[in-house]
Structure 1
């Protein structure tokens, strides 16, 4: 059975950048990157999640961080030139990007928002990022992802998860 192409995959095709599509079983009640990594048999640090963030000066952007980390809001604000950044509310994600939670990607969004990735992206030969659909990931070289998204890399991830 042939895997359906997403807008993100078509963008990579148009740019002639190599990638593979990785499929996994979706549990709508468990969309965390760590679970996705386990289903793919990959370390969580190699499966990147794409977050939608709003800065007080620069507006909306994507933040791409490893699945075993959380976003360092202060570091992202410094990288973007904002005084303060905050994740957008879940109800804003689809209207802003065209994607639903668990399927957000910086490729093929409704609008070309700036992309900021954690510097750890460069530590792997290949990484997994959302293909724009739940249950489907792009498996590609970090340099190709950076080229396709125009991502700016910096130290924007903190290991572990925040305590609630």
Structure 2
């Protein structure tokens, strides 16, 4: 009987190559639309994580046509005006789903800031640095990696900023 071998993703290979420690986590995909706030919270809870430590990857195009990557907590929404200010653009808009693979090499719901086709300017929400480790996509739906945020920021030459919309809980 063949032994089941855990499939490494490109994200995991890059992290190993750069000697950044990580822990891989897998989950059952398919409950809810990938990439939505509700789905991100579902994944965090399925893995026993605090949703505040789970970050989703959003890719946007600026008014100058430059591509930018934003990492925000899964339960939060990106504030496009704050995001534009953080990267020095007049405005930014999220990429259309059809463009994500061509620009990043990843599919919607499995997009990671690590291992994209190019190293795009990246901004993490400032709360990422509040934790010893955070969770990001491992580059495919159903897999995440837990990594030290400071190592990620350094690897990606990223910045941190307040880039989420104000939430008004009832």
Class of the TM-score when normalised by the shorter of the 2 chains? over 0.9
Alpha-carbon separation, structure 2, partners of 1:105 and 1:12 = 12
Inter-CA distance 160–135: structure 2 relative to 1 (3 Å threshold): farther
- Give the root-mean-square deviation of aligned CA atoms: 1.5
Shift of 1:98: 1.0
CA contact (8 A) 1:93 1:99 kept: yes
Alpha-carbon separation, structure 2, partners of 1:89 and 1:51 = 11
Matching of residues 57-72 of structure 1 within 5 Å: 57=64, 59-72=66-79
Alpha-carbon separation, structure 2, partners of 1:87 and 1:23 = 27
Shift of 1:58: 5.8
Give the equivalent residue in structure 2 for 1:37: 44
TM-score with structure 1 setting the length: 0.92
TM-score with structure 2 setting the length: 0.89
Give the equivalent residue in structure 2 for 1:130: 137
Give the equivalent residue in structure 1 for 2:100: 93
Give the equivalent residue in structure 2 for 1:12: 15
Alpha-carbon separation, structure 2, partners of 1:36 and 1:9 = 19
143, 153, 158: which is aligned to 2:160?
A: 153
Runs (5+) with no aligned partner, structure 2? none
Runs (5+) with no aligned partner, structure 1? none
CA contact (8 A) 1:62 1:115 kept: yes
Shift of 1:29: 4.0
2:117 maps to 1:110 = yes
Higher strand residue share: 1
Q: Bigger CA drift: 22-31 or 47-56?
A: 22-31
SS at match of 2:86: helix
User: Which digits, 9 at most, give the CA deviation of each residue in 1:115-140, with x for residues without a partner?
Assistant: 11100001111100001011110101
